[in-house]
Chains A and B, each alone.
Chain A
Amino acid sequence: MVRLKNSKQLQQLHRQLAAARPAGRPAVAVCGGTGCQAQGSLSLSDAFRRELKKRRLSKKVELRLTGCHGFCERGPLVLVFPQGVLYQRVKAKDVAEIVERTLKKGEIVERLLYQDPQTGKRIAREADIPFYRHQQRLVLKDNGHLDPTSINDYIAIGGYQALAKALKMGPAGVLDEVEASGLRGRGGAGFPTGRKWRICGSTPADTRYLVCNADEGDPGAFMDRSVLEGNPHSVIEGMLIGALAIGAGQGFVYVRQEYPLAVERLELALEQARAYGLLGAGVLGSSLEFDVTIKRGGGAFVCGEESALIASIEGRRGVPRRRPPYPAQQGLFGRPTCINNVETWANVPHVIKRGAKWFSAIGTAGSKGTKIFSLVGKVHNTGLVEVPMGISLRRIVFDIGGGIPGGKQFKAVQTGGPSGGCLPESKLDTPVDFDTLVAEGAMMGSGGMIVMDSSTCMVDVARYFTNFLKFESCGNCTSCRDGLIHMHRLLEKLCAGTAAPDTLERIESLAETIRRTSLCALGTTAVNPVLSTLRHFREEFVAHLEEKRCPAGVCKELITFTIDADKCTGCTLCAKNCPQDAIRGRKKKPHTIEQDKCIKCGICRDVCQYDAVLVK
């Protein structure tokens, strides 16, 4: 790899590499995201390599191990080009057939196609699958098209062109463009990115820093992980453009400890960028000097909070600081520091490349561009989805998510992780937008979206998130640390049927204190799960409190498992599987559950083929 001395050389390299990858060229892209890897996609990729070699197709067909394709529910995923066919749930034993029929003969292997649960039709092209069709993939667009371990792939598809353009625009030009685009932070708070950059850049200092917040602590969220694993250069390019605009010489990527693959991909990407002279002194021959250091977190959710993150990088305990002063003015090592989320940085090259006008045409008046959500929970199509701001929750859950499996009813969608809230069916037409979600008592957050059905108990959900936050609180403030302890206890009592009559008032009073007197956003937003569920599902709380009843049939101390004698065929499957030996009955005769032995594990219900286990 030779240093690129200027933008012209970058253009030349791009043309060279692009020419070697003509559009019609056959290729196989195997998803190498962590999710698909867990399903065996690495050995799948090896199987393809061996098969292609066996058939002497290695030179003709490009094999790529790529980042996350997004349709995680259906992994391992394989995309075949040039047709753009998506094969799902691919196993090593399918490889020979794919190579023989699809790559050699151009035929489709029907059984590996996605099948629409509504129509029963099999859909061949990725672009036609509803899960993908309703998305607008900007940040994730290239995930299926490049090998994240190859900077040449990134340059071939136009990578670092935005940097070249930014260098020509100069800091003032870039600031104006980012501000005009309306890009708002994707980490949760939604602060206008351009404004943050401007404040940081205009604070007098000897040094300024950039930070990429890759702590991604929300349970169930894996958007940032997939961007770092699948397209690390997009983040590096965004940070370079930011460094130019703000006047920063050093950047940090703070990655949570639990993302080893993301760290590995990022380390490699940084090395490659340095080798090409895209990082370090004299970037692309300009006067910009910028490099990036990776810092790994230590396993604390609170270190995703910007001031605790700064403390952690400085080597101190991850305890937040009161703001003001804000990091943009006084941050890391006391210097002006611009902290942005992974997804925010990844958006920047698009803003520069295609312009603020183009970017701000996507989305709503207050929320421009797209947002990546990790759509999980009780929904058919779980995975990563990228949608334009303004799309309704209903379209995400039903058109993209494919609706609720098992014929169950939609109950709620939780957005914003532990800092967010739950919205009921009546709010499904709420457009995804920073401000409208807050108005409804929820929050965009970093992009976690958990779908819940009628088998979810909302009191249990409130208890779950409160427990998480109680565990993750840094413990500095009496209000947050002890407030959450006592609020969790009250919620536990509700779930156990032992709550005192004034429990709901006491929860609301504690919530007020936690919300109003905690130092940082972990504390002040810790009350959102319980307050939003109380707001939209109060009757469930009242049922737990006054009737000692769990309508969803979840809270163990409030439910009973019985066997419906009319439906039971006496197959003995439940009795055989009961870990407590609590089920009695003779073959072919209705069985009964001994209540004093039953631990409400639900295994009998899971194994029963006749729907004979009742939970009340």
Chain B
Amino acid sequence: MTVTVRINDVEVLAEEGESLLEVALRAGFDIPHLCHHPAVEAIGSCRLCLVELQAAGREELTTSCNVRVEAGMQVITDSPLVRQQRAANLELLLARAPGSARLRALAARHGIQAPRFEPPPSEGIQNCILCELCVRVCAMLGHDALGVLGRGEKKRIGLPFNQPAASCVGCASCAAVCPTECIRVSETPQARTIWGQSFEFAHCRSCGAPMLTERQRQFEIEKNGLPEDSYDTCESCKRQQTSQRFAAITW
């Protein structure tokens, strides 16, 4: 059902139940967010997407990623209170992940040059902001190879039972979505190493170039019931073959 909400005094149309943050971003409002990704469920971890929300007779300062849009909501995305508390959370995040260029730039735009806090103790990955995007995306992809260990100050992202995960296929989507780029991936033409495991690449049957990992290839074949020789040619050779077929048709 389509509903109307007001964001910064502008009327915006939305589908009832959509994420308020998604609606605002689509309408062109710039609300900083790090732990939100439209492909996975919002958890409201980073606390940057704060807005002042008036709904059902209540006023509150809240994150917008995990608010489901209802008719008549009124939202302010840039009040002094919002900016003040957004900056406060940015400062806390920067103290935890000073090595992230993206976070440094975002903090600088909010007047935070250097955090006034020492880095919190962490047994986890350096510069990780514990947003759980890697965990959520990996679960969404059907691998569930990453988990959250501990809670509170001991919370860290890691492998279940601290063992290399049997279900990891080395696709590196976790690294791709990580907002602070703190997941280390290294590659040779032979293999990709990530989360303590080395994954052999599947190689193009024509030119031998590395493509996706063999484990990822097998996972897709099994999941979709594809023939065993699927995904065995690289995009360059596939394109080459396509051009030959087009040439054969034309001339």
Complex Cα gap A513–B85 (Å) = 6
Complex Cα gap A519–B35 (Å) = 14
Q: A476-B43, A513-B88, A517-B85 are in contact. Are A482 and B96 (CB under 8 A)?
A: yes
B residues near A481, Cβ cutoff 8 Å? 130, 152-153, 155
A residues near B92, Cβ cutoff 8 Å? 478-479, 482-483, 486, 513
Which residues of A are interface residues toward B (Cβ below 8 A)? 300, 302, 317-319, 321-322, 324, 470-479, 481-486, 489, 506, 509-510, 512-513, 516-519
Considering the complex, give the chain A residue whose CB is closest to the CB of B55.
A324
Asked if A473 contacts B47 (CB within 8 A), the reply is: no
Asked if B88 contacts A322 (CB within 8 A), the reply is: no
Complex Cα gap A481–B67 (Å) = 21
B residues near A302, Cβ cutoff 8 Å? 151
Which residues of B are interface residues toward A (Cβ below 8 A)? 43-47, 50, 56, 61-63, 66-67, 85, 88-89, 92-93, 95-96, 116-118, 120-121, 129-130, 148, 150-155
Asked if A471 contacts B96 (CB within 8 A), the reply is: no
**Which one, B50, B95, B96, B118, contacts A517 given CB within 8 A?**
B50
Asked if A479 contacts B89 (CB within 8 A), the reply is: yes
B residues near A509, Cβ cutoff 8 Å? 88
Asked if B88 contacts A471 (CB within 8 A), the reply is: no
Q: A513-B88, A517-B89 are in contact. Are A485 and B153 (CB under 8 A)?
A: yes
Asked if B120 contacts A478 (CB within 8 A), the reply is: no
- List 14 additional contacts besides A321-B66, A517-B47; criterion CB under 8 Å: A300-B151, A322-B44, A322-B67, A324-B56, A472-B152, A475-B153, A478-B89, A478-B93, A485-B120, A486-B120, A510-B88, A513-B85, A516-B85, A517-B50
Complex Cα gap A531–B211 (Å) = 58
A residues near B129, Cβ cutoff 8 Å? 478
Complex Cα gap A513–B82 (Å) = 11
Complex Cα gap A481–B124 (Å) = 15
Q: Which 5 A-B pairs have the closest CB atoms?
A: A475-B155, A473-B152, A513-B88, A482-B92, A485-B120
Asked if A477 contacts B151 (CB within 8 A), the reply is: no
Considering the complex, give the chain A residue whose CB is closest to the CB of B67.
A322
Considering the complex, give the chain B residue whose CB is closest to the CB of A467.
B153
B residues near A318, Cβ cutoff 8 Å? 151
B residues near A473, Cβ cutoff 8 Å? 151-153
CB distance from A125 to the nearest CB of B (A): 49
Complex Cα gap A370–B89 (Å) = 41
**Which one, A471, A477, A510, contacts B45 given CB within 8 A?**
A477
**Which one, A471, A477, A485, A486, contacts B47 given CB within 8 A?**
A477
Asked if B45 contacts A476 (CB within 8 A), the reply is: yes
A residues near B152, Cβ cutoff 8 Å? 470-475, 481, 484
Asked if B88 contacts A489 (CB within 8 A), the reply is: no
Considering the complex, give the chain B residue whose CB is closest to the CB of A475.
B155
A residues near B44, Cβ cutoff 8 Å? 322, 476-477, 519
A and B contact pairs by CB, cutoff 8 A, 23 listed: A319-B43, A322-B62, A322-B66, A324-B56, A470-B152, A471-B153, A473-B151, A473-B152, A473-B153, A475-B130, A476-B44, A477-B45, A478-B46, A478-B93, A479-B88, A481-B155, A482-B92, A486-B95, A506-B116, A512-B88, A513-B89, A513-B92, A519-B63
B residues near A484, Cβ cutoff 8 Å? 152-153
Complex Cα gap A517–B61 (Å) = 7
A interface: dominant SS? helix
Considering the complex, give the chain B residue whose CB is closest to the CB of A318.
B151
Asked if A516 contacts B120 (CB within 8 A), the reply is: no
Considering the complex, give the chain B residue whose CB is closest to the CB of A490.
B117
CB distance from B111 to the nearest CB of A (A): 14
CB distance from B180 to the nearest CB of A (A): 13
Considering the complex, give the chain A residue whose CB is closest to the CB of B45.
A476
B residues near A482, Cβ cutoff 8 Å? 92-93, 95-96, 117, 120
**Which one, B61, B96, B151, B154, contacts A516 given CB within 8 A?**
B61
Asked if B89 contacts A322 (CB within 8 A), the reply is: no
CB distance from B3 to the nearest CB of A (A): 16
Considering the complex, give the chain B residue whose CB is closest to the CB of A320.
B44
B residues near A513, Cβ cutoff 8 Å? 85, 88-89, 92
Complex Cα gap A472–B150 (Å) = 10
Complex Cα gap A37–B63 (Å) = 48
A residues near B66, Cβ cutoff 8 Å? 321-322
CB distance from A552 to the nearest CB of B (A): 27
A residues near B150, Cβ cutoff 8 Å? 475
Asked if A474 contacts B61 (CB within 8 A), the reply is: no
A residues near B148, Cβ cutoff 8 Å? 317
Complex Cα gap A509–B116 (Å) = 12
Complex Cα gap A302–B88 (Å) = 24
Complex Cα gap A506–B115 (Å) = 12
CB distance from A309 to the nearest CB of B (A): 15
CB distance from A191 to the nearest CB of B (A): 15
CB distance from B153 to the nearest CB of A (A): 5
Most chain-A CB neighbours within 10 Å: which of B88, B95, B118?
B88
A residues near B47, Cβ cutoff 8 Å? 477-479, 517-518
Complex Cα gap A506–B129 (Å) = 22
Considering the complex, give the chain A residue whose CB is closest to the CB of B66.
A322
A residues near B155, Cβ cutoff 8 Å? 474-475, 481
A residues near B50, Cβ cutoff 8 Å? 517
Considering the complex, give the chain A residue whose CB is closest to the CB of B88.
A513
B residues near A485, Cβ cutoff 8 Å? 120-121, 153
Asked if A474 contacts B151 (CB within 8 A), the reply is: yes
Complex Cα gap A475–B96 (Å) = 13
Complex Cα gap A565–B133 (Å) = 65
Considering the complex, give the chain A residue whose CB is closest to the CB of B43.
A476
Considering the complex, give the chain A residue whose CB is closest to the CB of B92.
A482
CB distance from B190 to the nearest CB of A (A): 37
Complex Cα gap A471–B150 (Å) = 10
Considering the complex, give the chain A residue whose CB is closest to the CB of B156.
A475
B residues near A472, Cβ cutoff 8 Å? 151-152
Considering the complex, give the chain A residue whose CB is closest to the CB of B50.
A517
Complex Cα gap A321–B43 (Å) = 8
Asked if A322 contacts B120 (CB within 8 A), the reply is: no
Most chain-B CB neighbours within 10 Å: which of A318, A322, A482?
A482
CB distance from A329 to the nearest CB of B (A): 12
Considering the complex, give the chain A residue whose CB is closest to the CB of B96.
A482
Considering the complex, give the chain A residue whose CB is closest to the CB of B129.
A478
CB distance from A26 to the nearest CB of B (A): 53
Considering the complex, give the chain A residue whose CB is closest to the CB of B61.
A516
Complex Cα gap A28–B61 (Å) = 58
Complex Cα gap A54–B15 (Å) = 80
CB distance from B59 to the nearest CB of A (A): 12
Complex Cα gap A486–B117 (Å) = 7
CB distance from B52 to the nearest CB of A (A): 11
Complex Cα gap A401–B180 (Å) = 55
B residues near A477, Cβ cutoff 8 Å? 44-45, 47
B residues near A322, Cβ cutoff 8 Å? 44, 62-63, 66-67
